[in-house]
Amino acid sequence: MTSPTPLAGIRVVEFTHMVMGPTVGHILAGLGAQVVRVEPNGGDQTRRLLGSGSGYFPMYNRGKASICLDLKSTGGLTVARDLCAAADVLVENFRPGALDRLGLGYEVLAEANPRLVYCSEKGFLPGPYEARTALDEVAQMMGGLAYMTGPPGRPLRAGASVIDVTGGMFGAIGILAALEERHRTGRGQKVVASLFETTAYLVGQHMAQFAVTGKPAAPMPARVSAWAIYDVFETRDEPVFIGVVTDALWEKFCALFGLDELWADQSIRANNSRVLARERILPPIRALIAGMTRAEVIARLDGTGMPFAPIGKPEDLFDDPHLAAGGLEPVTLDDGRETRLPTIPLEMGGKRPGGGAALPTPGADARTVLAGLGYDEARIAQLIADGAVEESR
Strand order in the sheet with 240-244: 229-233, 240-244, 308-310
- Dihedral of the alpha carbons of 121, 209, 151, 18, in degrees to the nearest 10: -10
What CATH homologous superfamily does 11-202+326-390 map to? Answer: Crotonobetainyl-coa:carnitine coa-transferase; domain 1 (3.40.50.10540)
Is domain 225-314 classified as CATH 3.30.1540.10?
Answer: yes
Beta-strand ranges (E) seen in the chain are 11-15, 34-40, 64-69, 89-92, 117-122, 190-194, 229-233, 240-244, 308-310, 328-332, 338-342, 389-390
User: How do strand 240-244 and strand 338-342 relate by DSSP bridges?
Assistant: unpaired
Alpha carbon distance 88, 325 (integer Å): 34
Nearest Cα neighbor of 36 from 363, 381, 390 is: 363
Beta bridge partners of 276: none
Sort 253 into a burial class: Cβ within 10 Å, 0-12 / 13-18 / 19+: buried
Q: What is the pLDDT of residue 356?
A: 65
Q: What is the pLDDT of residue 1?
A: 54
Q: What is the pLDDT of residue 3?
A: 87
Alpha carbon distance 241, 239 (integer Å): 7
Cβ contact 199:124 at 8 Å: no
Amino acid at residue number 266: Q
Alpha carbon distance 249, 308 (integer Å): 12
Amino acid at residue number 265: D
Q: In the chain, which residues have pLDDT < 70? A: 1, 355-356, 393
Q: What are the sequence ranges of the domains in the chain?
A: 11-202+326-390, 225-314
